[in-house]
Every structure is written in structure tokens, then in C-alpha cells.
Amino acid sequence: MNAQARQTRSSSWQPRENAGHCSSLQSFLDYIRAECGLSANTVDAYRGDLLNFFSHLRQARCDDLASLAPGHIESFVGYCRRRDLADASIARAVAAVGTFCKFLVLEKVIPRDPTETIVSPKKWNRLPSVLNDQALTKLLREPDPTMDLYALRDRAILLLLYATGIRASELTGLKTTDLNTTLGVIRVLGKGSKERIVPLADQAIEAIEQYVRTSRPAMSQSRDAGEIFLTRTGRKLLREDVFRIVVKYVRRALPGSHASPHTLRHSFATQLLQGGGDLRSVQEMLGHVDIATTQIYTHIDAKRLREVHKKFHPRG
């Protein structure tokens, strides 16, 4: 092939959709929707940002996500700037790519996050949303255990999420052998396959015991692998199943609310700190590697205190 032919072929080269990229994108979107509890608008925005990122990768002929490097991220930021995107839009795009890369690390697609050294144009910490006592009470009472077997399961799920602050993905992996009702604790396998022991409230223990005793036997099949929470057909629940269950009762009990399984986790942590719990203990119960991740809940409490001060102090 002569030089002119090679140049013509190169200039007309059009990358096709990469099946691996598409598969990873869908898995990631399911993850942030179910596990992180992001709103539909945010999920759609992240999807658009990542499609742009994949387009940039195709132009750079990076077909294998395993070969992602900081240079790809830096050139993507430049790509966004050339499109005259606002700093906030670029920051969101970088956040989307960063979250995606962390997901790839969790899935062992890449060994480390290539966005670690990338400085976003604009940094912000979004305070997680929490439910107040009244809203929590309404939500936890919504499943009627007298209605059917599945309401018993769903009530146990809601109480367990709120009583322990565990992630939806951690809940789906719980085995019956992880539950110790005598000691009032549950063993949780968290991110990075790290085990931790989390205390259980009496109400959650009672709900789980009732479900395991009466509902679970009717759901379990011959392929029962010992997971605590099962679907109607006897398979283990997925993160997406937990998300759908929680959202179903949120819509009934709290119309207009966008609460998710992660909202119950946030509410658990916030109320512990408001009640006098120390930061290290809360960090351990949540399974946070970095205490800075836990410290965001102290900002929520500070915000509440400022509101009280403004409302009741004569110079507020």
C-alpha cells in the first residue's frame, strides 16, 4: 500500500461502537442507579458524558479500557475545553469519568484509577440527602406484613438498611450464616472483600427473624445458596431489585421524594453523629476506608445546627 493510500485510509477511518465500552457503560449505569442512588437526571447526564468520553477514546484509538491512562483523561479535558463547555459542565464530565474509573477498579478491569492526578476545574462536595424522623417512620411502616410474604421481606430489607447503614450491594450478599441474633450483629462483606461486624437494632432483628422463619422458606428453591434475601423465584436479590423495592415504598409513603437505599445509609450515619456517636465508630460501621468520606456527615449536622441558631437566636 502506497503512502497516499495509507493516508486516505487513515483520514477516512471511522471507529465503530465498541462492544466492550457499551457493556461496561451499562453495568456502570446500573451500579450508580442502584448502589449510589443517583437521580435519573444525573444518570442520564453521566451517560451523555461517558458517551462523549468513549467517542474521544475511539478517536484516540483506545479500544481497550484496560489500557486507560492519565493521558487519556487529560486529553479528554482538553477535548471538552475545545468544545467551549462551562467549567461546571467539564467538572461534571470529569466526575462522571472518575466515578466510572473507580467502578472499573472495583470490577478489576483496571489496576488503579487514572483520574487520581486530574484536577477538576471546579470541586464541590454535595451533601447527601437524608430523611427526618417523621419521614423515616412513615417509610418503615409502609410494608404491611399482614398482606403477603413479600411485604415481610421488604419490611426486613428497609429496617436492615436503616438499622445498619449497609450498601444495597452488601445486603444482597448477606448469607443466613452472617446473622447472629444472639449477639445482635451481622457480618458484612464490603468493598474490597473487607469484612466488618455491624450491630443490629432489636426491631430489625425481629423483622429478619420473622421473614426467615415464615416467608423465606416459601421463596427458596433447590438452588438455594443461603442468601438471606431472595426473589419470588428463589434467586438472590440483585442491587437493582433492592433499589426497586425501596423506591416502591418511598413513592407510596413519601410522594415526591427521591429517596433510595443510599438515602437510608446517609440517614443512619447522620443520626448516629447527631446522637453523639464518634466519627471513628461511624466510619467503621459504614465500611469507609478514608475517614474524610465519613466527615461529610458532620457537615450535615453543622448545617442543622446553623438552622437552629438562625431560627432561635436573637441575633441569628
| Catalytic hit among 9, 141, 191, 299 | 191
Tell me whether residue 211 is one of the annotated catalytic residues.
no
Pairing verdict, β 195-199 and 185-189: antiparallel
- Bridge partners of residue 186, in order along the sequence: 179, 198
Q: Which residues contact 223 (CB under 8 A, 6 or more apart)?
A: 234, 235
207 CB-near residues (< 8 Å, 6+ apart): 152, 155, 156, 159, 160
- For residue 46, give the amino acid letter: Y
Catalytic residue among 72, 153, 216, 262: 262
> In angstroms, rounded to a whole number, what is the distance separating the alpha carbons of residues 88 and 151?
43
265 is catalytic: yes
Active site residue 167: yes
Choose the catalytic residue: 167, 216, 236, 239. 167
Spatial contact of 94 and 115, defined as CB atoms under 8 Å apart:
yes
Distances (CA, A) of 189 to 197, 198, 313: 9, 11, 46
Q: In Å, how far from its chain's centre is CA 182?
A: 30
Is-catalytic flag, 288?
yes
Q: 288: helix, coil or strand?
A: coil
Q: What is the DSSP letter of 201?
A: -
User: Is 311 among the residues known to form the active site?
Assistant: no
Nearest to 164 by CA among 188, 197, 198, 187: 198
Active-site pick, 297, 304, 306, 311: 297
72 catalytic, yes or no? Answer: no
Angle of CA points 191, 33, 45, to nearest 5°: 120
**Which residues of the chain form beta strands (DSSP E)?**
179-180, 185-189, 195-199
Residues noted as catalytic: 167, 191, 262, 265, 288, 297
